[in-house]
Chain A
Amino acid sequence: MENLLAAVELVFRADVLLTILLASVYGILVGAMPGVSATLAVAMLVPITFFMEPVVALATIATAVAMAIFSGDLPGALLRIPGVPASAAYTDEAHEMTLKGKGGTGLMISLLCSVIGGIFGTIALAVLAPTLAQFALAFRYHEYFWLAAIGLSTAALVAGNNPAKGLISLCVGLLLSTVGYDMISGSPRYTFGTVALMEGINFISVMIGVFAVAEVMRCLVHPPRGDHRVSRVQRIDIRETFRIMWKYKGQMSLGSIIGVIIGAIPGAGSDIAAWVSYGFSKKLSRTPELYGTGHPEGIVSASASNNASTSTTWVPSLVFGIPGDSVTAIVIGVLLLKGLEPGPLVFVENAPLVYSIFVSFFLANLLLIPIGYVSIKLASQILRVPNSVLMPIVLTFTIVGAFAINNSMMGVTVALFAGIVSFLMQENDYPVAPLILGMVIGPIIEQSFMQGMIAENGDLAAFFSRPLAAGLGIFTILIWLGPIITFIVRRYRANRPAAAQTN
């Protein structure tokens, strides 16, 4: 409790509050731009956060993300282009509402559900994270190894349709993470004799390449095709909004709970939460046939869900140092740059800082109500900024950012190469999120694996020797078996009609 009070004192300072306000406006604007994802929004903030105190930096990122995850719904509803991937699950539904003239009400529903989901997620974060951290103090390499393995496996298998491509992308990230001096032996690895690679490859530069350089190219060569049929101003019916939210309060709670759980799993974040809860709400609905025709039920569930998971993805990141999604991967990078190693000890040594994140999220979700309302009113003006102007500016900005990471051109060069490679990978349907998570989780999994191998003399069974580690290990293996089982079932189903015919 005293930590919470200390955190409130840290956040309620004029300069911090002003920064939060600026970050909200930034988050809303950038999240609403189709093609600029929440991840890119945060990546663009990184060079600026270098120069802030840790509390301000984290508050800025938390606020911008919470805002961007909502404002991604704006182009989704009006143009049928999701502004951020987390809005994609219900873009068609929201757009159908707009065609019926209920776009304003639909957005208001998704705004208020986002706020409720976000606050629920923040409370879950504030309760879960310190409790888990207590537990995690007793963790040794066994548990860390499995937690990292869970993060990597979900990232590789859940992203994209082809698990083999996810696996390859993940391995690229893991190999990149090994470049430079090895921690244990001091041997240089994959440096090709160059001094520049000795210190390793900075993953924020790679991130800028993947999410800025490649995204700018993708956005310019495949311009997202919007549906501009609706240009009139959408009316917001407040009474209708509350009536619908009350009617579907069950769906809202379910969405929030799904969001909290998915967010807390390492390697899974808000876009997966939105898809899963949209799917669940359709299955549980009394009127599933209305889904896809501009029916608000799924929007209620999914928009509560993606904001709830936005908060709880910080749980594995802060407690274990294992990011939930690419946004929190950047957060870990920022923390490390500030000399703060995420892990259970942060909760002991820097408790007020951690609690200040909870306070910032709470504030951001409250601020979302007025700022989100204004943004719905101004949506058609915000969406008028053409990509042909925006994208070159984003690119220039991120190049300066890549330089500012350690004031060297190396960062820009890495970003260029990462951009080219990830552009080609994405053109060939390779997901790139596993690559980023692989780079961040790589050192953790390698270190815990090597510690285990050396300490236990190569006995792999030792990784199951502690009860919790065994449980986590079995869970990981089940995740691995998932795609294999699906493959066998699909094979079986495909063969069965043929077998029936021959009989």
Chain B
Amino acid sequence: MKANDAITGGIFLAVAILAFLYAGTFTPLPGVKYGPDLFPRLVSVLMGLGGVILIVGALRPAGRQPLLSIAQWARTPRSYLIIVAVLGSIVFYILLSDRLGFLLTAFIMLSALLIATRGISRTVSSLVISASVVVVLYLIFARLLRVPLPVGVIESLVS
């Protein structure tokens, strides 16, 4: 999804203004003339400048672009499915891995992703790939490198 440069420029200009104003709340060290707000404020000004350049460039007659152009990929429902699957699987992992444990969460997550990318007709092989990858990851990270991955029912059974 490609928005007009004036829109993205405007968003970053707004971010820059907010960052500039928020920097006013930083408490300086008494007696030091240049406080913790100086650098963030300079950066905000530069960022705002970038935003203004983009807006001006996009509004000139020579630089006219459509307000919002939908790229080729964004016209197919499959692309949205993939984006939802990728982001959803990460959210799923963040929210549920502490309760379900690493092995189960990662298995569900990877299986769902593989089914989304390879199609529902290849579910069986996706599940097999997923199970083997998750076990290898578990062995590498939990056993070999001793990362304290979230423990659930399966982990407490095998350890």
Contact = CB atoms under 8 A, between A and B. Distances in A.
16 contacts: A47-B147, A50-B145, A168-B51, A185-B28, A220-B82, A387-B117, A389-B118, A389-B129, A396-B106, A396-B109, A403-B147, A419-B90, A420-B87, A428-B8, A449-B39, A458-B33
Given A182-B36, A416-B91, A175 B19 contact: yes
B50 A221 contact: no
A184 B29 CA distance: 8
State which size class the interface on B falls in: 35 or more
Contacts of A213: 86, 90
A413 interface: yes
A183 to B, nearest CB: 9
Contact of A399 (B44, B46, B90, B129): B90
Contacts of A450: 34, 38-39
Given A185-B26, A220-B117, A167 B90 contact: no
Contacts of A185: 26-29, 32, 35-36
B56 to A, nearest CB: 10
Given A392-B113, A453-B38, A400 B27 contact: no
Interface stretch (A118-126, A351-359, A404-412, A464-472): A404-412
Interface of B: 1-3, 5, 8-9, 12, 16, 19, 22-23, 26-29, 32-36, 38-40, 43-44, 46-47, 49-51, 53-54, 57, 71, 73-74, 79, 82-83, 86-87, 89-91, 93-94, 97-98, 102, 106, 109-110, 113-114, 117-118, 129, 133-134, 137, 140-141, 145-149
Q: Which of B29, B43, B47 gathers the greatest number of chain A CB atoms within 10 Å?
A: B43
Contacts of B23: 189
Interface string A455-495: 00110000000000000000000000000000000000000
Nearest to A445: B39
Interface of chain A, helix or strand or loop or mixed?
helix
Nearest to B27: A187
Q: Which of B1, B46, B147, B148 gathers the greatest number of chain A CB atoms within 10 Å?
A: B147
A407 B147 contact: yes
A400 B2 contact: no
A400 B26 contact: no
B50 A400 contact: no
A15 interface: no
B114 A397 contact: no
Contact of A184 (B32, B53, B57, B118): B32
A396 B40 contact: no
B26 A454 contact: no
Nearest to B118: A388
Contacts of B16: 171
A427 interface: yes
A165 B109 CA distance: 35
Contacts of B83: 217, 221
B21 to A, nearest CB: 12
Interface string A87-121: 00000000000000000000000000000000000
Interface string A184-195: 111111100000
A301 to B, nearest CB: 35
A171 B34 contact: no
Contacts of A48: 140, 145
A413 B53 contact: no
Interface in A364-422: 386-389, 391-393, 395-397, 399-400, 403-404, 407, 409, 412-413, 415-416, 419-420
A175 B86 contact: no
A427 B1 contact: yes
Contact of A178 (B40, B87, B149): B40
Contacts of A397: 137
